[in-house]
Amino acid sequence: MLAVSKTFEPAAVRQAHAAGQTAFGENYVQEGIEKIAALADMLPREAIEWHCIGPLQSNKTRVVATHFDWVQSVDRLKIAQRLSEQRPGGLAPLNICLQLNVDGGANKSGVAPAELPALADAVAALPGLRLRGLMSIPEPSPDFGAQKALFLRVRDAYEDLRARGHALDTLSMGMSDDLEAAVAAGATMVRVGRAVFGHRALKDAGAAGPTAAA
Protein backbone atom coordinates (compact mmCIF):
# COMPACT_ATOMS: atom_id res chain seq x y z
CA MET A 1 0.00 0.00 0.00
CA LEU A 2 1.10 3.50 -0.85
CA ALA A 3 -0.18 5.95 1.77
CA VAL A 4 -1.14 9.15 -0.07
CA SER A 5 -0.23 11.95 2.31
CA LYS A 6 -1.04 14.97 0.09
CA THR A 7 -2.55 17.83 2.10
CA PHE A 8 -1.68 16.11 5.39
CA GLU A 9 0.94 17.41 7.80
CA PRO A 10 4.34 15.79 8.31
CA ALA A 11 3.09 14.69 11.75
CA ALA A 12 0.52 12.44 10.06
CA VAL A 13 3.25 10.81 8.00
CA ARG A 14 5.36 10.27 11.10
CA GLN A 15 2.42 8.65 12.86
CA ALA A 16 1.78 6.31 9.94
CA HIS A 17 5.47 5.50 9.74
CA ALA A 18 5.53 4.64 13.44
CA ALA A 19 2.70 2.20 12.72
CA GLY A 20 4.82 0.47 10.07
CA GLN A 21 3.96 2.28 6.83
CA THR A 22 7.06 3.13 4.79
CA ALA A 23 5.84 4.23 1.32
CA PHE A 24 4.16 7.61 0.89
CA GLY A 25 2.72 9.42 -2.13
CA GLU A 26 2.53 13.13 -2.90
CA ASN A 27 0.73 14.87 -5.76
CA TYR A 28 1.98 18.40 -5.51
CA VAL A 29 5.72 18.71 -6.02
CA GLN A 30 6.29 21.76 -3.83
CA GLU A 31 4.27 20.34 -0.96
CA GLY A 32 6.04 17.01 -1.29
CA ILE A 33 9.51 18.57 -1.24
CA GLU A 34 8.66 20.57 1.87
CA LYS A 35 7.31 17.49 3.63
CA ILE A 36 10.33 15.38 2.69
CA ALA A 37 12.59 18.10 4.10
CA ALA A 38 10.53 18.44 7.27
CA LEU A 39 10.72 14.72 7.91
CA ALA A 40 14.38 14.32 6.99
CA ASP A 41 15.33 15.64 10.43
CA MET A 42 13.47 12.86 12.16
CA LEU A 43 13.76 9.84 9.88
CA PRO A 44 16.76 8.45 8.05
CA ARG A 45 16.28 8.87 4.30
CA GLU A 46 16.32 5.11 3.70
CA ALA A 47 13.56 4.51 6.24
CA ILE A 48 10.96 6.05 3.99
CA GLU A 49 10.11 5.83 0.27
CA TRP A 50 8.57 8.81 -1.53
CA HIS A 51 6.42 8.48 -4.65
CA CYS A 52 5.47 11.40 -6.87
CA ILE A 53 1.98 10.59 -8.19
CA GLY A 54 0.79 13.94 -9.56
CA PRO A 55 1.11 15.70 -12.91
CA LEU A 56 4.69 16.74 -13.54
CA GLN A 57 5.85 19.86 -15.40
CA SER A 58 9.27 20.11 -17.03
CA ASN A 59 10.45 22.80 -14.65
CA LYS A 60 9.89 20.48 -11.66
CA THR A 61 11.75 17.43 -12.91
CA ARG A 62 15.05 18.31 -11.24
CA VAL A 63 13.71 18.55 -7.70
CA VAL A 64 11.63 15.42 -8.24
CA ALA A 65 14.61 13.46 -9.59
CA THR A 66 16.63 14.61 -6.59
CA HIS A 67 14.19 14.02 -3.73
CA PHE A 68 11.77 11.27 -4.74
CA ASP A 69 12.32 7.51 -5.10
CA TRP A 70 9.50 6.85 -7.55
CA VAL A 71 7.52 8.79 -10.15
CA GLN A 72 4.24 7.12 -11.07
CA SER A 73 2.86 9.81 -13.35
CA VAL A 74 5.17 9.71 -16.37
CA ASP A 75 3.21 9.98 -19.60
CA ARG A 76 5.66 11.73 -21.97
CA LEU A 77 9.14 10.85 -23.14
CA LYS A 78 10.41 14.39 -22.66
CA ILE A 79 9.65 14.26 -18.93
CA ALA A 80 11.26 10.83 -18.65
CA GLN A 81 14.41 12.04 -20.43
CA ARG A 82 14.74 14.99 -18.08
CA LEU A 83 14.22 12.80 -15.00
CA SER A 84 16.88 10.40 -16.25
CA GLU A 85 19.41 13.16 -16.99
CA GLN A 86 18.73 14.92 -13.69
CA ARG A 87 18.80 11.88 -11.42
CA PRO A 88 21.87 12.44 -9.21
CA GLY A 89 24.66 9.96 -9.94
CA GLY A 90 25.02 8.79 -6.35
CA LEU A 91 21.43 7.58 -6.16
CA ALA A 92 19.84 4.38 -7.46
CA PRO A 93 17.89 4.80 -10.70
CA LEU A 94 14.53 6.50 -10.21
CA ASN A 95 11.67 3.99 -10.22
CA ILE A 96 9.08 4.79 -12.86
CA CYS A 97 5.47 3.85 -13.56
CA LEU A 98 3.91 5.02 -16.79
CA GLN A 99 0.48 6.55 -16.26
CA LEU A 100 -2.06 4.98 -18.60
CA ASN A 101 -5.18 6.87 -19.69
CA VAL A 102 -7.20 3.70 -20.02
CA ASP A 103 -10.63 5.18 -20.68
CA GLY A 104 -9.62 7.98 -23.01
CA GLY A 105 -10.93 10.96 -21.05
CA ALA A 106 -9.95 13.84 -23.34
CA ASN A 107 -8.35 16.18 -20.82
CA LYS A 108 -6.95 13.47 -18.59
CA SER A 109 -3.32 12.79 -17.86
CA GLY A 110 -1.81 9.56 -19.07
CA VAL A 111 -0.50 8.01 -22.24
CA ALA A 112 -3.07 6.59 -24.68
CA PRO A 113 -3.08 2.77 -24.87
CA ALA A 114 -1.93 2.80 -28.50
CA GLU A 115 1.15 4.86 -27.60
CA LEU A 116 2.09 2.88 -24.51
CA PRO A 117 4.41 0.24 -26.05
CA ALA A 118 6.64 2.79 -27.78
CA LEU A 119 6.84 4.96 -24.66
CA ALA A 120 7.69 1.93 -22.52
CA ASP A 121 10.50 0.89 -24.89
CA ALA A 122 11.97 4.40 -24.87
CA VAL A 123 11.73 4.86 -21.09
CA ALA A 124 13.20 1.44 -20.37
CA ALA A 125 16.31 2.46 -22.33
CA LEU A 126 17.04 5.53 -20.17
CA PRO A 127 19.98 4.95 -17.81
CA GLY A 128 18.77 7.04 -14.86
CA LEU A 129 15.41 5.31 -14.67
CA ARG A 130 14.08 1.88 -13.87
CA LEU A 131 10.72 1.09 -15.45
CA ARG A 132 8.63 -0.75 -12.85
CA GLY A 133 5.11 -0.78 -14.23
CA LEU A 134 1.89 1.11 -14.82
CA MET A 135 -0.30 3.48 -12.85
CA SER A 136 -3.85 4.36 -13.78
CA ILE A 137 -6.76 6.43 -12.45
CA PRO A 138 -9.87 5.29 -14.33
CA GLU A 139 -13.06 7.37 -14.23
CA PRO A 140 -14.77 6.85 -10.87
CA SER A 141 -17.83 4.64 -10.95
CA PRO A 142 -20.09 3.48 -8.13
CA ASP A 143 -20.37 0.07 -9.76
CA PHE A 144 -17.87 -2.63 -8.76
CA GLY A 145 -18.20 -4.48 -12.08
CA ALA A 146 -17.58 -1.33 -14.12
CA GLN A 147 -14.59 -0.43 -11.97
CA LYS A 148 -13.13 -3.90 -12.31
CA ALA A 149 -13.63 -3.95 -16.09
CA LEU A 150 -11.52 -0.79 -16.47
CA PHE A 151 -8.85 -2.08 -14.11
CA LEU A 152 -8.69 -5.30 -16.11
CA ARG A 153 -7.88 -3.24 -19.20
CA VAL A 154 -4.94 -1.71 -17.35
CA ARG A 155 -3.89 -5.20 -16.27
CA ASP A 156 -4.04 -6.36 -19.92
CA ALA A 157 -1.80 -3.49 -21.01
CA TYR A 158 0.61 -4.39 -18.20
CA GLU A 159 0.69 -8.05 -19.22
CA ASP A 160 1.23 -7.05 -22.86
CA LEU A 161 4.32 -5.07 -21.88
CA ARG A 162 5.62 -8.01 -19.88
CA ALA A 163 5.05 -10.29 -22.84
CA ARG A 164 7.13 -7.83 -24.91
CA GLY A 165 10.04 -8.41 -22.54
CA HIS A 166 9.72 -5.63 -19.96
CA ALA A 167 10.56 -6.85 -16.46
CA LEU A 168 7.72 -5.09 -14.64
CA ASP A 169 6.53 -5.77 -11.10
CA THR A 170 4.21 -2.88 -10.25
CA LEU A 171 0.58 -2.41 -11.23
CA SER A 172 -0.50 0.68 -9.29
CA MET A 173 -4.26 1.11 -9.32
CA GLY A 174 -7.07 1.58 -6.83
CA MET A 175 -7.77 4.39 -4.37
CA SER A 176 -9.94 4.66 -1.24
CA ASP A 177 -13.22 4.26 -3.14
CA ASP A 178 -12.29 1.53 -5.61
CA LEU A 179 -9.38 -0.40 -4.18
CA GLU A 180 -11.33 -3.66 -3.80
CA ALA A 181 -12.08 -3.77 -7.53
CA ALA A 182 -8.46 -2.92 -8.32
CA VAL A 183 -7.17 -5.73 -6.11
CA ALA A 184 -9.65 -8.13 -7.72
CA ALA A 185 -8.21 -7.11 -11.10
CA GLY A 186 -4.62 -7.79 -10.03
CA ALA A 187 -3.27 -4.54 -8.57
CA THR A 188 0.08 -4.96 -6.83
CA MET A 189 -0.08 -1.47 -5.28
CA VAL A 190 -3.08 0.54 -4.10
CA ARG A 191 -2.72 4.28 -3.46
CA VAL A 192 -4.81 5.15 -0.43
CA GLY A 193 -5.28 8.62 1.02
CA ARG A 194 -8.57 9.27 2.78
CA ALA A 195 -9.08 5.71 4.00
CA VAL A 196 -5.78 6.05 5.89
CA PHE A 197 -5.59 9.70 6.92
CA GLY A 198 -9.24 10.81 6.91
CA HIS A 199 -10.89 13.62 4.99
CA ARG A 200 -8.79 16.12 3.13
CA ALA A 201 -9.47 19.84 3.25
CA LEU A 202 -11.34 21.35 0.29
CA LYS A 203 -8.07 22.28 -1.39
CA ASP A 204 -8.11 18.84 -2.93
CA ALA A 205 -11.82 18.53 -3.63
CA GLY A 206 -11.36 18.61 -7.38
CA ALA A 207 -8.95 15.71 -7.40
CA ALA A 208 -10.78 13.30 -5.17
CA GLY A 209 -14.39 14.37 -4.70
CA PRO A 210 -15.49 16.19 -1.57
CA THR A 211 -18.47 13.99 -0.74
CA ALA A 212 -16.89 10.55 -0.85
CA ALA A 213 -16.77 8.86 2.52
CA ALA A 214 -13.38 8.52 4.13
Ligand X SMILES: *Cc1c(COP(=O)(O)O)cnc(C)c1O
Q: State how far the Cα of 101 lies from the Cα of 146, in Å rounded to an integer.
A: 16
Query: Min. distance of Cβ 181 from ligand X in angstroms?
Result: 13
CA torsion sign for 200, 203, 208, 213 is positive
Which residue in the set 4, 13, 119, 182 belongs to the binding site for ligand X (CB under 6 A)?
Answer: 4
By CB under 6 A, tell whether 133 contacts ligand X.
Answer: no
- How far is C-alpha 131 from the geometric centre of its chain's CA atoms? 13
By CB under 6 A, tell whether 13 contacts ligand X.
Answer: no
Using the rule CB under 6 A, give the single segment among 89-97, 126-134, 139-147, 187-195 that binds ligand X. Answer: 187-195
By CB under 6 A, tell whether 1 contacts ligand X.
Answer: no
Which residue in the set 5, 21, 27, 101 belongs to the binding site for ligand X (CB under 6 A)?
Answer: 27
Residue 80 corresponds to which amino acid?
A
By C-alpha distance, which of 104, 123, 111 is closest to 164? Answer: 123
Using the rule CB under 6 A, give the single segment among 8-16, 147-155, 161-169, 192-200 that binds ligand X. Answer: 192-200
Which residue in the set 23, 52, 53, 157 belongs to the binding site for ligand X (CB under 6 A)?
Answer: 53
By CB under 6 A, tell whether 189 contacts ligand X.
Answer: no
By CB under 6 A, tell whether 191 contacts ligand X.
Answer: yes
Total residues in contact with ligand X, by rule CB under 6 A: 15
CA torsion sign for 143, 146, 151, 154 is negative
Using the rule CB under 6 A, give the single segment among 14-22, 56-64, 160-168, 174-182 that binds ligand X. Answer: 174-182
By CB under 6 A, tell whether 176 contacts ligand X.
Answer: yes
Query: Min. distance of Cβ 202 from ligand X in angstroms?
Result: 14
By C-alpha distance, which of 121, 118, 149 is closest to 136? Answer: 149
Q: Segment 100-129, which members bind ligand X (CB under 6 A)? A: none
Q: Residue with the closest Cβ to ligand X?
A: 193
By CB under 6 A, tell whether 60 contacts ligand X.
Answer: no
**Residue 171 parent element (H or E):** strand 170-173
The full 3-state SS of 81-139, as one line of letters, equals: HHHHHHCCCCCCCEEEEEEECCCCCCCCCCECHHHHHHHHHHHHCCCCEEEEEEEECCC
By CB under 6 A, tell whether 96 contacts ligand X.
Answer: no
φ, ψ dihedrals at 68, nearest 5°: -100, 160
3-state SS class at 180: helix
Q: Residues in the site for ligand X, rule: CB under 6 A?
A: 4, 6, 27, 53, 137, 175-177, 191-195, 207-208
